[in-house]
A and B are shown apart, each in its own frame.
Chain A
């Protein structure tokens, strides 16, 4: 393990925290828009929010969702925490990678509904199932990201078997 210089470590940590919390905020915005789109009786407003959701997804959620685990991996590998030594780090990784993949799969339906909305062909009540799904998925994503945030702050104790093995090697 190569330990990062303190200044660089703080820079990477700042980047990681900014991207991670930004991701959470962006999904929160997406959820708010999705709920408006789902419940609004104003067709114009509903169309506007789905166009906005597409923008938020492409320009905020997607880049932040990629940057967050990337900076997290860099940071973990270059600090004493490691990537597989502590359960809280490992679990965060196991949560965020599938979340990124899940997001990539859902970019297409987000774009589809946004294109319909932009072409003013989206009527009230149309694509109700997809509208509901976008809101539910955003809510689920918020939950996952909140758990990841809590793990980052609380850092609950627990070394994995690999971590315990490495610990024994260091203490030998």
Chain B
């Protein structure tokens, strides 16, 4: 089951990775900046 030429990463992986990075960054900003969400409690 060889899917692609050697070492070529599928485009969907790159797209998903970019979306994941954007998601994590946004989440981190929301948590660190407060954004009405505060900390983890006492």
Binding site for B on A (CB under 8 A): 87, 91, 95, 105-106, 108-109, 112-113, 127-130, 132-133, 136, 140, 143, 147, 156-159, 161, 164, 167-168, 171
Let me know if B12 and A156 touch, CB within 8 A. Answer: yes
Q: How many residue pairs, one in A and one in B, have C-beta atoms under 8 Å apart? A: 61
The complex places the Cα of A158 from the Cα of B12 at a distance, in Å, of: 9
Chain B interfacial residues counted at CB < 8 A:
24
Q: Mark B9-42, 1 if CB is under 8 A from A, else 0.
A: 1101100100010010001001100101111111
Q: A91-B16, A156-B10, A164-B7 are in contact. Are A129 and B2 (CB under 8 A)?
A: no
Binding site for A on B (CB under 8 A): 1-4, 6-7, 9-10, 12-13, 16, 20, 23, 27, 30-31, 34, 36-42
The complex places the Cα of A67 from the Cα of B32 at a distance, in Å, of: 31
In the complex, which residues of chain B have a beta carbon less than 8 angstroms from the beta carbon of A157?
3-4, 10
The complex places the Cα of A132 from the Cα of B9 at a distance, in Å, of: 38
16 further contact pairs, Cβ within 8 A, besides A129-B39, A133-B37, A133-B38: A87-B10, A87-B13, A91-B13, A91-B16, A105-B40, A109-B41, A112-B41, A112-B42, A129-B38, A147-B16, A157-B3, A157-B4, A157-B10, A158-B3, A158-B12, A159-B3
